[in-house]
Amino acid sequence: MSGFVFKQFKVEHDHCAMKVSTDGILLGAWANLSGAKSLLDIGTGTGLLALMCKQRSNELDITAVEIDESAYTQALQNVANSPWPTISITHQTIQRFSSEVKFDVVISNPPYFNHSLKGDNAARNTARHTDGLSFEELINAFKHLSHSGSRFSLILPSVEGALFIELATQNGLYLNTHCQVKATPNKDISRSLMTFSYVKSDIESSILCIRNLDNTYTADYIALCKAFYLKM
């Protein structure tokens, strides 16, 4: 089976370089959507984040942008086959994307490999490497497409997350919420879930562990994701 079946929708990902992953599910379940009326998903891939956020808040007006044509086509299909066919998907680079709407929430599971070796799959390289979308360009996109009350949520590996925090701070953004993720209690922290805004606040910090030592999901992870996983 090529797809990933959730409780309320299914995501086909056989034509996408980046498959449905725990990273995407974490961000889609975790991102702060409170009070938001409009959301932009940068680099939607399969459409997963857009679909998860729409399930969480049906009132949200969601726009998603995707550069890769195969992923764009598959995202269109996934949205059309979902309960929320009104999600708008644009085949465009975020650098060239413009909108009259300034979005309340911007969300992204972005490329993050800065200098690592590349494979032979061009689409996968685009999805994984920052050549096509640097952290600076991502921050600039948020600033261009947001208003003073907007929030920007994303997930990155811990090392890249630290670099992003530094760059975002230099560009006038503040880290408001930081959830550090580890696979199991005895593993190092591997991912950073982060929310930035233009408003300085005390940083709300937490640690989320995905699995217990016996490989079952932790209570925290179940509480976060049970609305989506079919067997949770």
Of the ranges 1-5, 58-62, 106-110, 117-121, which one carries the lowest mean pLDDT score?
117-121
Over range 178-190, report the average pLDDT: 96
pLDDT tens for 96-139 read 999 999 999 999 998 775 544 445 555 444 444 445 678 999 99
What one-character-per-residue DSSP string does 168-200 give? HHHTT-EEEEEEEEESSTTSPEEEEEEEEESS-
Rg of the chain on CA atoms, in Å: 17
Residue 174: predicted pLDDT = 98
Residue 205: predicted pLDDT = 98
Closest to 152 measured CA to CA, from 162, 134, 140, 166: 140
Q: How far is CA 20 from CA 2, 24, 48, 108, 225, in A?
A: 10, 7, 7, 14, 14
Q: Which residues on neighbouring strands pair with residue 208, listed in sequence order?
A: 181
Is residue 137 within 8 Å of residue 183, measured between CB atoms? no
Work out the pLDDT band at 18, boundaries 50, 70, 90: confident
Is residue 18 within 8 Å of residue 45, measured between CB atoms? yes
- Treating both helix axes as pointing N-terminal to C-terminal, what angle do 22-30 and 48-56 enclose, rounded to 10 degrees? 30
In angstroms, the CA 221 to CA 166 distance is: 28
pTM of the complete model: 0.90
Work out the pLDDT band at 232, boundaries 50, 70, 90: confident
State the average pLDDT for the chain.
90
Which of the two residues, 46 and 117, has the higher pLDDT score? 46
Work out the pLDDT band at 4, boundaries 50, 70, 90: confident
In angstroms, the CA 198 to CA 192 distance is: 19
Task: Please tell me which of 13-22, 92-101, 201-210 the model is most confident about, judged by mean pLDDT.
Answer: 201-210
Could you give the angle at the alpha carbon of 217 between the alpha carbons of 211 and 223, nearest 5°?
Answer: 120
Over range 21-38, report the average pLDDT: 96
Is residue 16 within 8 Å of residue 81, measured between CB atoms? no
Helix ranges restricted to H, the chain: 22-30, 48-56, 69-80, 122-128, 135-144, 158-170, 219-225
Instruction: Specify whether the backbone of 211 is left (phi greater than 0), alpha (psi in -120 to 50) or beta.
Output: beta
Backbone angles phi, psi at 209, to 5 degrees: -105, 130
Q: How far is CA 120 from CA 102, 103, 144, in A?
A: 37, 36, 33
Residue 128: predicted pLDDT = 45
Tokens representing 81 are 């086959």
Residue 132: predicted pLDDT = 63
What percent of the chain shows pLDDT beyond 90?
A: 81
